[in-house]
Structure 1
Amino acid sequence: MAIQPIEEKEWLQLAHLGTAKEAILFSTPFCGTCKVAERMLEIADTAGVPVTLYQMNMNFSPSLRDAWKISSVPCLVLLRGGEPVRFEYTMRSVDHIYKLLKEL
């Protein structure tokens, strides 16, 4: 499954039930590091992770940005049942991201 672009309003309307495993990559369009993080997530996804992956433009996500106190991009937010369990700002390697997503 590919990384799904999603807007804040859409994500807030989704029903996050039970132990659904999700991850949101917060990024901005002109951030080079964000492009690298997106590519790393795509590779990890291709390797097979049991997580629904989303990408959100932080410039248009003020509610989540403020509620979750996201301080910079890229930021990978790992969620269980719609609640954040981890914020990852350093995209060290594809292997690191893959392990984070597998352990979620």
Structure 2
Amino acid sequence: MDSLTLAQIDQVIEQENIVCVYLYTPICGTCQLAGRMLEIVNELFPHITFCKTDINYMPERAIEWSIESVPCLLVFRNGKLEKKIYAFHSVPYLYETIKSFL
């Protein structure tokens, strides 16, 4: 999962059909665990674009997207924010949730 800048994320969201954007902070322990879970899910969906970014570097976008906490996974479909996931229950949960957008 690549770390992208805000401009890169905007470009990917515009160009790709389904995009999963993982928002985290580096000092968040739960974010580290969620990131490892997403790496597994990323391998299961090679045709879906997964990317990540440190939310500290995009506070205005956090407001725009109404981010309540991290970790957070944003699922975009056709450029539109479809879902925000805050509770990363398990890899199977994430798999099924993302699969529902196909």
Q: 1:50, 1:101 within 8 Å by CA — same for their partners in 2?
A: no
Identity %: 30
Tell me: CA distance 1:12–1:47, structure 2 relative to 1, closer, same or farther (3 Å): closer
Following superposition, the deviation at residue 15 of structure 1 comes to 6.4
Tell me: CA distance 1:67–1:91, structure 2 relative to 1, closer, same or farther (3 Å): same
5+ residue gaps, structure 1, are none
Tell me: CA distance 1:13–1:46, structure 2 relative to 1, closer, same or farther (3 Å): closer
From 83, 87, 92, the equivalent of 2:89 is: 92
Partner of residue 32, structure 2: 35
Tell me: CA distance 1:47–1:13, structure 2 relative to 1, closer, same or farther (3 Å): closer
Note the 1:6-45 alignment, pairs <5 A.
6-14=4-12, 16-17=14-15, 20-45=17-42
- How many positions carry a matched residue from both structures? 101
- The DSSP-based 3-state class of the residue aligned with 1:10 is helix
Q: C-alpha separation between the residues in 2 aligned to 1:85 and 1:7?
A: 21
> Where does structure 1 differ by over 3 angstroms across 4 or more consecutive aligned residues?
none
1:102 matched to 2:99? The reply is yes
- Relative to the length of structure 1, the TM-score reads 0.87
Q: Cα RMSD (Å) of the superposition?
A: 1.7
Q: C-alpha separation between the residues in 2 aligned to 1:13 and 1:50?
A: 17
1:48 matched to 2:31? The reply is no
Tell me: CA distance 1:14–1:92, structure 2 relative to 1, closer, same or farther (3 Å): closer
Following superposition, the deviation at residue 4 of structure 1 comes to 1.2
